[in-house]
Chain A
Amino acid sequence: MTTIFMWILLIFLVVCAVAVSFTKNILNSILIFMSYSLIMSVIWIMLESPDLAITEAAVGAGVTSLLFFVTLKKIGRISSEDEKEVENGSAESSDETGSENES
Chain B
Amino acid sequence: MSIRKNQQEYEKSRAYRFSRWLKGEKDPFVGVIEMKSQNPDEDPEQFYSQEDYEAIRRHARDYQNNQMIHRYNRVYVVGSIVACLALIVVLIYAISYLPAFGKADSVGTNEVATRYIENGLQETGAVNVVAGMIATYRAFDTFGETTVLFIATCSVMILLMVEREDKRRQLHLDDREFEPVQDEILQHVAKILCPFIFMFGIYIILNGHLSPGGGFSGGAIIGAGMILFSSAYDFPKIQRFFNEHIYVIVKVTALMLYGTIAVYFFYTGANGLESVFPLGTPGAILSGGIILPINIFVGTEVACTIYAFYALFRRGGL
Q: Does B213 contact A (CB under 8 A)?
A: yes
> How far is the CB of A15 from the nearest CB of chain B, in Å?
18
Say whether B35 contacts A63, CB under 8 Å: no
Known: A63-B227, A67-B313. A50 touches B38 (CB 8 A): no
CB-CB under 8 A from A80, the residues of chain B are 41
Q: Does B190 contact A (CB under 8 A)?
A: no
Q: Write the A35-65 contact mask toward B (1 if CB under 8 angstroms, else 0).
A: 0000000000000011101110011001100
Known: A66-B227, A67-B310, A67-B313. A54 touches B204 (CB 8 A): yes
Say whether A51 contacts B37, CB under 8 Å: no
A interface residues, tally (CB under 8 Å):
27
Main secondary structure, interface of A, reads helix
Say whether B313 contacts A63, CB under 8 Å: no
Which of B223, B310, B313 is most buried by chain A, counting CB atoms within 10 A of its CB?
Answer: B313
B interface residues, tally (CB under 8 Å):
27
Say whether B221 contacts A51, CB under 8 Å: no
For the A-B complex, the count of residue pairs with Cβ-Cβ distances under 8 Å equals: 64
Partner of A66, one of B30, B216, B310: B310
CB-CB under 8 A from B220, the residues of chain A are 55, 58-59, 62-63
Q: Does A70 contact B (CB under 8 A)?
A: yes
Which parts of B168-202 form the interface with A (CB within 8 Å)? 175
Q: Does B36 contact A (CB under 8 A)?
A: yes
Can you report 18 residue pairs joining A to B where beta carbons are below 8 Å apart? A49-B130, A51-B130, A55-B216, A55-B220, A58-B217, A58-B220, A58-B221, A62-B224, A63-B227, A74-B175, A76-B41, A79-B41, A86-B37, A90-B37, A93-B37, A94-B37, A96-B35, A97-B35
**A-contacting residues of B (Cβ < 8 Å)?**
30, 35-38, 40-41, 128, 130-131, 175, 204, 212-214, 216-217, 220-221, 223-224, 227, 306, 309-310, 313-314
